[in-house]
Chains A and B, each alone.
Chain A
Amino acid sequence: MNQSLPRWVDIGLIPLANVLLAFCAAGLIVLAIGADPFAAVKFMLAGALGNSEAIGYTLYYATNYIFTGLAVAVAFHAGLFNIGGEGQATLGGLGAGLAVLALDHTGSALVIVPTAILAAAIFGAAWAAIPAYLQAYRGSHIVITTIMFNFLASALMVYLMVNVLMAPGAVAPESRDFADTAALPLISDWLNALGFHVMESPLNLSLVFALVACALVWFLVWHTPWGYELRLMGFNATAALYAGANPRRIILLAMMLSGALAGFVGVNEILGVHHRLLLDFALGYGFGGIAVALMGRNHPVGIVFAGLLFGVLQQGGTELTFEMPQVTREMVVAIQGLVILFSGALALMSRPWFEWSYWFVGRKLAVRKAASA
């Protein structure tokens, strides 16, 4: 039985059912460690959305997920699987940090911040461009090379932090603090200036930037000739070739765009929050982005919602540990894994159930119609 289903079932109901399956599995895990899953959800929601500080943290985490989700999605549309988001985000942060360390005592914020953002994009794009070049021109598989580039990024970062960038007299491998001119404005400061009273949180201008990135990706991928070629290539590489597209150029550009988007995690973390270079600031976001992209069905709107959900999970999970000490916050990582499993790897599992139900309901309706006629 392989019949076509109406669009609303195919792109609405089935993905929703897959995500629900993932969350049911997560609930069973919570039950297995002797906690009440419904109470856990209640604590998580309160911890993630209960007050203005919690909401700020939730949106700050969501910002990272939106960037990496977009990164994975852009590559996906070209038929490429970018597992290197982790490394590209690390390099993006390195780029932003180096730019600030070089400039922060010279110019004004209006020069430093845009330069640092550009540097994050360039470093992230360059780190993705090497695997892309190797795939396009040397035939090596992008999945394997991007995995290895994650480790290379981490080795490079450790080397630079420990041997070159570590501040004199520091106990941890961290650079000196940036000058205040290099910090992105906090949203809470703006809202307070406008007369809304909110508590301080790390949420910064990067969120606005992430939403702008969503709009740009939407325009680029769905409303330009280049985006059309990109999607055609992902849909049917042979057809793209016959239509006159240049696959090598598309692979290179798609991966560079993807890497630049992942690199913006560094903007949020380094310019927005930490205000110095450090290790492991991108930990988990590159892989989390895969879950976000799969759940958001590779569309910017879906990615914003999926990113928000993962922001809620991350912030709620942190708060949950205080209320229920037996549930650690790594539960969120497990949920990401389950979402990737059910929405990605097992995406076709539930389809036959829907095909059967659709056929069954359709037949019942037809019988009733015939009886009433």
Chain B
Amino acid sequence: MNELFAILLPTLSGTLRLATPLMLCAMGGLFSERAGVIDVGLEGKMLAAAFASATIAWATQSGWLGLAGGIGVACVMALLHSLACITYRGNQVVSGVAINILASGLTMVFAVAWFHRGGQTPGLDTALRFMPVLFGQSLLVYVALAGVGATWWLVGRTRFGLRLRAAGEEPAALDAAGLSVAWVRYRALLITGVFTGIAGAYLSIAANANFSREMTAGQGYIALAALIFGKWRPLSAFAACLLFGLLDTLAIRLQGVSIGGVLVPVQLIQALPYILTITLLAGFIGRAVAPKAIGQPYEKAH
């Protein structure tokens, strides 16, 4: 029994730790996508926020200001995405890709110019970081969990949520009811910015002590996969994040372990989130149906 706990507990807490940035990004992405705007730029927003948080926390010697800075920068990038996708009716995927590439380049450009450490920011004292507060988890982990609850309530149970879903399913109806589709979508994307900002801050000032090159390492894309695997629903997406977090924990724990004489291919476990999502999207296990108006810029009739 004790042995079981000795394996189970670290696995569970590791899962929660690794699932936290996924949860935050997936919930953030949910607001954008349920409002009808594809967001493949979660990765870029999170990366930019991670850099901003570490830099500002170091410069101001305050973790809280670092968190605020990360959220601010992610919101600016979300506004850029809104400007391109909502105001100028550009291609939403192209805009998301632009944000990812821009973040990947700019974080390095500024990191090298300001700190001369090959893209790293200076290490932060534990006093400046969001260290474990309860059950060995950082405060931001609980913020992420609360964020899941908030998303479930906001999207499913409030008037704003109803309008947000209308913007993603039937924007013309929202328009006919005298509401601005653009305004609803702008607000949804700002919320995406807040969530991805917290996710970035979690990586650079809670889970680690500094920013390093490409530190998001594709987690924004895994979160997108989790969002789709959870069929764009908050609680299912949350479950998908936990599952993907568990897979990631197992991939680390099973490194070099052989079961029955066969070495476990770690790469296969790491690829499982993508394989599962592709299989689901192809309709081989259930069906994931995207919001009806996703990807279409809304043009108001005059």
Contacts and interface: CB of A to CB of B under 8 A. Distances in A.
The answer to whether A and B come from one shared complex is: yes
Secondary structure type dominating chain A contacts: helix
Interface string A119-145: 000000000000000100011110111
Contacts of A83: 40, 93, 97
Interface in A319-373: 325-328, 330-338, 340-341, 344-349
Interface stretch (B120-128, B158-166, B277-285): B277-285
A34 interface: yes
B85 interface: yes
Interface residues of A, number: 49
Nearest to B297: A348
B90 A138 contact: no
A346 B271 contact: no
Contact of B104 (A144, A327, A328, A333): A333
A29 B104 CA distance: 14
Q: What range describes how many residues of B lie at the interface? A: 35 or more
Interface in B206-224: 218, 221, 224
Interface stretch (A46-54, A110-118, A149-157): A149-157
Contact of B224 (A144, A155, A347): A144
Contact of A347 (B90, B97, B274): B90
B221 to A, nearest CB: 6
A64 to B, nearest CB: 16
Contacts of A331: 105, 109
Contact of A341 (B84, B228, B265): B84
A147 B282 contact: no
B76 to A, nearest CB: 13
A287 B108 contact: no
Most buried by B among A163, A287, A337: A337
Contact of B97 (A163, A327, A340): A340
A188 to B, nearest CB: 31
Nearest to A342: B98
B282 A334 contact: no
A144 B267 CA distance: 20
Interface in B237-273: 263, 265, 267-268, 270-271
Contact of A163 (B85, B90, B265): B265
Contact of A290 (B94, B106, B221): B94
A148 interface: yes
Nearest to B277: A148
A142 to B, nearest CB: 10
Contacts of A254: none
B59 interface: no
Nearest to A33: B113
B157 interface: no
Contact of B85 (A81, A336, A345): A345
Interface string B77-100: 000100111001111011101111
A159 interface: yes
Given A134-B278, A152-B274, A327-B113, A141 B90 contact: no
B101 A337 contact: yes
Contacts of A151: 218, 221, 271, 274
A340 B104 contact: no
Contact of B267 (A134, A159, A346): A159
A346 B90 contact: yes
A68 to B, nearest CB: 13
Given A148-B277, A155-B271, A334-B106, A345 B91 contact: yes
Given A151-B274, A345-B84, A144 B113 contact: no
21 contacts: A81-B91, A81-B94, A138-B281, A138-B283, A139-B283, A140-B281, A143-B93, A144-B281, A148-B277, A155-B267, A163-B263, A294-B94, A328-B113, A330-B109, A333-B101, A336-B105, A337-B98, A340-B101, A344-B95, A345-B85, A346-B84
Given A330-B112, A349-B88, 16 more contacts: A33-B110, A139-B282, A144-B277, A152-B274, A290-B97, A327-B109, A330-B109, A337-B98, A338-B102, A341-B102, A344-B91, A345-B85, A345-B94, A345-B95, A346-B88, A347-B90
Interface of B: 38, 40, 80, 83-85, 88-91, 93-95, 97-106, 108-110, 112-114, 116, 119, 218, 221, 224-225, 228, 263, 265, 267-268, 270-271, 274-275, 277-278, 281-284, 290
